[in-house]
Structure 1
Amino acid sequence: MNDGIQKLGTDPCLVLKFEESMESVDNPLHEAAKRGNVGFLQECLNNKVSVNGLDKSGSTALYWACHGGHTECIKILLATPRVELNSQNKIGDTALHAAAWKGHPEAVKLLLAKGARTDLRNKDAKYPVDLSSRDPATAAMLVPKITRIDDDDYLDEDEDEG
């Protein structure tokens, strides 16, 4: 029997508590981002945990912060040098896909302001805008801006020669 468990005795509640506290966290930055734990997220970054590290699903901490709509975590991650905005996980989703799917307009704004790509498709051939049906405000930000080209913008060949 484990020495720590022996010290606790045989009370099942105490043994369970001990085992829970001994659980290791494979991706501490990801866990902080998922939970919106700004202090722990910052501590991980200060201790040189890679901002672009991937978890088992191939997702980054930025993906999980956007999935949860944790704007303070998103801001910190986006301010980190060399953060990869457009990393795609195993199913092809980016942080922008996650923010759109979960209906987090503030997360979408932050990602777009940093230059996140709206033209990446996931493995279901879906763009972020395709996943944003829950929230019209989010969808509106992701719809490509179509510019109208006026005929006057082009010179007529006859006018150009004179």
Structure 2
Amino acid sequence: MPKPIKTDDLASEKGIDYTRLRDLLAAHNWKEADIETYLVMIQAVGKKDGGRFSTDELLNFPCTDLRTIDQLWVKYSNGKFGFSVQKKIYLSVGGKMDGKYYDEEAWNKFGDKVGWRKNYYWISYSKVTFETNAPTGHLPAAAKVRLGMSLLSHRDL
């Protein structure tokens, strides 16, 4: 299991401290890392509380912060998890780079590939697999609940 490296790039345009996220990912504490990902993303867009992100918030998510979050997920999962991993899968099933266009067919195929949809039904967050043996792109799963395909259309992933 990789040890957290003090020299990981934890850059943030918004002054977010990504140390806890890095440490959780390095420990392969996937569930807590998923929750922490959502919490730091709320901070990065200046939200005071939870809920869904708007399409504009996601398409204009601070680039440096998005790259930091993604690179940590990719690094500590050995390329199995992360938003950029999800984006590749989304594009491979016909998803488009327009976060304002909802392509149900591509989103369903993406859900099937990453394990968020089984037998034509979307799984609940309580059924997410927080293990290394989860399908490629399965995590972070906060995307399923609160982010949607708009983030996967971000220009900097």
TM-score by length of 1: 0.22
- The structure where helix makes up a greater share of residues is 1
TM-score by length of 2: 0.23
Structure of greater Rg? 1
